[in-house]
Structures are given as C-alpha cells and as structure tokens.
Amino acid sequence: MPLDALVFDAYGTLFDVHAVIDRCEKFWPGKGAQLSQLWRAKQLEYSWLRTLMSHYQPFSAVTREALGYACEALGLALEAKRAKALMDEYLNLAPYPDVPDALDKLKGGGRKLAILTNGSPDMIETLVKNRGLQSSFDAVLSVDGLKVFKPAPRVYQLAVDTLRVPAANIGFVSSNCWDALGAKAFGFNVYWINRGGAPVDRLGFQPDGMLQGLGDLPERIAR
C-alpha cells in the first residue's frame, strides 16, 4: 500500500541523545560516555516501569530522575547548576547529519510527516524549534496527553487519529528496536534505523525494512 504518512520517533532517531557526552565530559572528565549511556538506559527503563505502574510523569521529569540515578550510581556529585545545564542539553540535541536532507526529500507529494515521541511538549517542541525543523512536520505528537509511554498501542493510535491515515498506510521510523516492533505489532509499516548493527529483539515481530540511517529512507520507499 502507498505510504500516506511517515511518523518518526525523535530521541535517538532524529536527534542524537548522546550529544550530551561533551557536556558530561566537561563536568566529569573520563566519565562522559559512561554517564550518557546509563542516563539513557534509565530514562527508557523508567518510562516503561511508570507505564506498567500506572504512575505517569512527564518525560522531562523522568529524564531528570534518570540523570540523578545515573550520577549517584557513578559516584558523581550532581549540583543544581550542573543538572540544569545537562537538562538544557536535551533542548538542543543535534540532529543526525543525514536528517535535514532526508526530511526535505521525504516532504511533499501529499504525504504527511509527523513526530511521535515520549518527549513532553516542553522538551520536544523547544528542541524542534531550536533546530529549525518546524516546517518539516505536519504534527509533533507527544504521549503527554495520554499519560502513557511507548510502546503502548494507544500511543501509536494517536498518530492514526491525528493524521487521519489508516495504520496500514503509515510508515513508522525508529532507531529503537523495541519502539519499531511496538509499532509493527500495532500495524504500521516499520523501518528500523539500526546504526549499530544490532540483532532484532525477540518480540515476535520483524521490521519491514532496516536502515543504516535516515538518509537511506527516501530511496527505500521510492522503490
């Protein structure tokens, strides 16, 4: 079926979450990469646990709590000024180098483009604006109104309802395998950006396509 809409995950897909490493490294030399990895792992873990516990908090709060845990686990003193500086990094994450050109190529022809993210509006809307990508998208959709995180099916339904496009005609793009397979289970056509060459998670589903970066997508869907 033709793809009438393309829906993108934000963090790790369009924007590099590990762009925070430089700031982490300035604060704690030799610990930047380790802190970034643990921070991201706990950020995701807390989103899943909060969904299972039915105790939602906005992604900004989840991200702040994950940062606090990661610093404590690594024995790093997190002063208020440093915490704010690191949280501010999420408002200015660099897009991956191939993202702007790929979005330009994918836009047009009546196809809708949207972001569907766990990020709370205070984070994602500021980030998209700061990176000058507002005109690339018809919608920036956050889970915040649903009070539940991906990969809950209700999140993917939000894209269907907002864009008014059937799931079978939506292409979903994520670099997070768990997210890609959650979208596939829901009924989207799924493209997994697998930059690290990881195996597919054993969740009973397979992505429809695998990409090395977003720059591969325009040619793939043109076939």
pLDDT at 88 over 70: yes
CATH class of segment(s) 17-89: mainly alpha
By annotation, the residues acting in catalysis are: 9
Q: How far apart are the C-alpha atoms of 81 and 108, rounded to whole Å?
A: 43
> Measured between alpha carbons, how far is residue 21 from residues 60, 93, 172 in Å?
18, 11, 28
pLDDT at 223 over 70: no
Q: How far apart are the C-alpha atoms of 98 and 14, rounded to whole Å?
A: 9
Residues 143-163 pLDDT 10s: 999 999 999 999 999 999 999
Whether residue 156 contacts residue 173, with contact meaning beta carbons closer than 8 Å, is answered with no
Task: State the DSSP code for 223.
Answer: -
Q: How far apart are the C-alpha atoms of 183 and 186, rounded to whole Å?
A: 5
Q: How far apart are the C-alpha atoms of 147 and 87, rounded to whole Å?
A: 21
Domain boundaries, the chain: 5-15+93-222, 17-89
Evaluate if pTM is beyond 0.85.
Answer: yes
Task: State the DSSP code for 145.
Answer: G
* Domain 5-15+93-222 is found in CATH 1.10.3720.10: no
pLDDT at 192 over 90: yes
Return the structure tokens found at 130: 């700061």
> Measured between alpha carbons, how far is residue 19 from residues 12, 48, 184 in Å?
10, 23, 28
Residues 5-57 pLDDT 10s: 999 999 999 999 999 999 999 999 999 999 999 999 999 999 999 999 999 99
